[in-house]
Amino acid sequence: MSRYYTFTAKDAVEYARQFGGVADPQSLVTADEIGDGNLNLVFKIRDTAGKSRVIVKQALPYVRCVGESWPLTLDRARIEAETLIIHSQYCPQHTVTVLHHDAELAVMVQEDLSDHHIWRSELVQGKYYPQASAQLGEYLAQTLFHTSDFFQNAQSKKAEVSRFTNPELCQITEDLFFTDPYVDHERNNFDAVLQPEVDALRADKPLRLAVAGLKHRFLSKAEALLHGDIHSGSIFVAEGKLKAIDAEFGYYGPLGFDPGSAMGNLLLNYCGLPGLVGVREAAEGREQRLKDVRELWLSFSERFLQLARDKSQDPTLAEPGYAEVFLQEVWHDAVGYCGAELIRRTIGLAHVADLDSIKEAAMRADCQRHALSLGQKLILTAQQISDVESLIARIRQFS
């Protein structure tokens, strides 16, 4: 019989007392449920002084934003905890610390990050963290290199691919990224004013062919242990600090997917800025987003190549020049996945505040059209965009 039950605030406090690792467990007395995502319960556990000390997170057996009509595996909590633990081995400074997890209860205890802020919220408010993109690039390079064939023993990696098989969460990505936006599906969500653009997108045969290639690579390339949902809402930032959270979509997939998703979210903010801060004020913020995209890719790619030179374990993959060839393939994938993120966050199920919080309806629609158009063009031209400087030139051209 399963031990699983859905936690109340009281249950979360008691669990934190047992497994939170605090010196004075009885000082933990209250819990605030703060989960605002699509899948889980998240409790902030406070002490007698009202200070938040640890986080208790529990998976629900369904998609929270939809309800019990969309059941979902609880094994995602194990996958999330173990993904974060592995990522923390290789990049502890930029990965949230898992203090404890219980697969049967689908629960984990994490370090408290109350001194950090969700990066998306900060971007929407126009707050700039100059080191964040380079730190995210470091996180991606360390976690993706060390779980790839460059570093892992081939037999061990095959076993890890099996351990991190995540079919239900991958199905969500496969549907929401690569299928739903390009068909008439009930999960899609967009204002009627965008219908002409949506119809044109769905009728674009070359686009649909390119998206098919992106989906096929997502289905078949087991290149590294991905975070799987690395966007500005799953990243905490503070002055000089960054931490990745929420890795329940972790699985072995195409190495370009994580960098592409991250770049796509920076560009969603780029598209939304005229509606968030005004057309005149948006110029500086847009230049900062382009700088973020550049620094993210350069930080990731330069560190990945350095790791490949210094730490590759497979003698064939260590052949001088091969990592550069491989990374060029990763780059083209990343540009395509970046475009897919722009489209799905605009007309699919899961939207972002960078666009949806724009109050003026006509401006919001213009920003959404820009995101759709930019995403479409990046997918179609991904194989022709040779490097990040060419990408930035294309973004300026498409704006």
Residue 142 has phi, psi (to 5 degrees) of -65, -45
Known binder of ligand: residue 344?
Answer: yes
Residue 77 tokens read as 């909590």
Known binder of ligand: residue 202?
Answer: no
* Whether 146 contacts 90, CB under 8 Å: yes
CA distance 367 to 355: 7
Known binder of ligand: residue 189?
Answer: no
Known binder of ligand: residue 40?
Answer: yes
Residue 50 has phi, psi (to 5 degrees) of 85, 5
Residue 45 tokens read as 């556990």
3-state secondary structure of 106: coil
CA distance 179 to 232: 23
Known binder of ligand: residue 246?
Answer: yes
CA distance 114 to 100: 19
Helical spans, DSSP H, in 180-256: 195-202, 205-220
Known binder of ligand: residue 310?
Answer: no
* Whether 316 contacts 330, CB under 8 Å: no
Known binder of ligand: residue 229?
Answer: yes
Known binder of ligand: residue 366?
Answer: no
Q: At what angle do helices 279-311 and 132-146 cross, to 10 degrees?
A: 30
Burial 95-116 (b: 16+ CB within 10 A, else e): bbebbbbbeebbbbbbbbbeeb
**Geometric angle at alpha carbon 300, from 299 and 302, rounded to 5°:** 65
Would you give the DSSP letter of residue 95? B
CA distance 33 to 56: 9
- Binding-site residue set for ATP: 40, 57, 111-113, 246-248
- Binding-site residue set for substrate: 229, 344
- Binding-site residue set: 40, 57, 111-113, 229, 246-248, 344
